[in-house]
Amino acid sequence: MSDTQAFSPDGRPRARALGIEPGGRPGPWNAITDVPGVEVGYRTLISGDGPLRRGQGPVRTGVTAILPRGRAGVGRPCAAGRYVLNGNGEMTGTAWIDEVGELTMPITISNTHAIGPCHSGTIEWINRTHPEWARQWLLPVCAETWDGYLNDINGGHITPEIVIEALDAAESGPLQEGSVGGGTGMNCYAFKGGSGTASRLVDFGAETYTVGVFLQANFGSRQELTIAGRRIGDRIGTGNPQETTAWGTAPDSSPAAPGGAGSVIVIVATDAPLHALQCTAMARRVPFGLARTGTTGSLFSGDLFLAFSTADDRPSETGFPVGDPSADEMITTTRLPWNRMDRFYAAVVDAVEEAVLNALIVNSDMTGRDGHFSPALPHDQLKTLLAEAH
C-alpha cells in the first residue's frame, strides 16, 4: 500500500489508513487521475459565519472541474454513457451524449443553483483556451448537488470566473478529498461529506487498464450508514442536527429535510477501450457501490452517473461536415468483448464504495449558515465499531 493510496496529499488518513480496504487493486494514487490524461481542478469558497444573509453568506461551496483528456484534449471525443438512479437532480449535456455516445467537453460539479454559472463559465473558458471549438456549439456537462444546509446557496457566490479558475487549476496527480471544490458544503449520511475518489487496476491479457471514480457525496440517512458490511450509523455517538432539528432561524425556520435527501454525482473514467453502450453499462453499476455504504436511494436525492473511456483518441466526427463524403472518413474502433466486462463492472463497484468512504473519512467538522453544524465521521469510534465486528 502506497502513502497516496492511504493518505491525502495533506497527510490526512483515507479509508485504507483506517484498515478499510474494499475489493480490488487500487492504482498508484487511488484516484480518478490514475486514468492517463484525466485532470481535476478545484475552487473552494469558505467565508463568513452566523445568520444567513442572502448574497453575503455564510459561504460554504465551490466548483470541481474534470477534464477527461486534459487541457490539450478538449474537443476530442471519449465514448460515454450515463445512468440515472433517481432524477431529482441535473446534469447538462447528457441529451447529446445519449444521441451520439460521446463526451467532448469538460465536466463541472457544483451546487444546485450554480448550474448556470458553471455552464457559461465553461463556455467562456473554452472560448479563451480553445476558440476553434467555440465556432459551432458547446454543450458542457454541468452537474450539481444541494449544499443549502451549510451554504448561502441562493447568494450567487459561484460565478463564471470562479468556474474558470477551477478549470485552469485542473491537473493530474493525487487529489484532495472531503470539503473541497464542489463538495465543500455537502453532507453524507448526516456527516460531513463532499468530494471522494478511488481507482482500480484491471488486468486484461498482457494489458492493465484503470477504472477511476470521482464523486460528490451528498446523500444517505444516518441510520443507513454501512461500512465494511457493518451498519454503524446509529451506533456512532455523534449528534445528528441535520436530520433532527429545524433549519434556519425564525421567522424563516423550516423543518429538517427527510433523511437521505441530498444527491450524489458519480463520474467513472477508464482507459479500457469501450463502446458507448458499455460505458452506459459501467454507469449502471454505480448504485451497487453506493448500496454497499447503506443508501436505499431517497426520492429527494438526485443520483446521476456518467462513465467515459479515453481509449480511442481521435478527432471529433460530430461537427459540420466539409466537402463531399469519402471512404477515408469511415470510423473503425476497438472495444472489449461484452463477455469480458464483468471484472470492469466489479472495479466500478469497488471504487465507488471506497470513494464514498474517502469523502467521509478525509473530512472535518463544519459549521455553516445559521449555525448549522455537520460533524465529521469520528475515526476513533469508527475503528472501535469495526474492531468489534471482527
Helix or strand (DSSP H, E) at 132: none
Which entry of 263, 298, 309, 374 is annotated as an active-site residue? 263
CA distance 220 to 195: 15
Q: Integer distance in angstroms from the first to the last C-alpha of the chain? A: 22
- In DSSP notation, 51-100 reads S-BTTTB-EEEEEEEEETTTGGGTTS-EEEEEEEEEESS-BTTHHHHHHH
120 is catalytic: no
Which entry of 34, 271, 303, 312 is annotated as an active-site residue? 303
301 is catalytic: yes
380 is catalytic: no
Closest Cα to residue 357, out of 181, 191, 158, 173?
Answer: 191
Q: Which residues 6+ apart lie within 8 Å of 296 measured at CB?
A: 224, 260
**Beta-ladder partners of 325:** none
Which entry of 301, 309, 312, 374 is annotated as an active-site residue? 301
Report residue 194 as a C-alpha cell. Answer: 463532499
Residues 189/235, Cβ–Cβ less than 8 Å: no
Closest Cα to residue 20, out of 289, 227, 293?
Answer: 227
Closest Cα to residue 195, out of 104, 108, 84, 83?
Answer: 108
Catalytic residues: 263, 301, 303
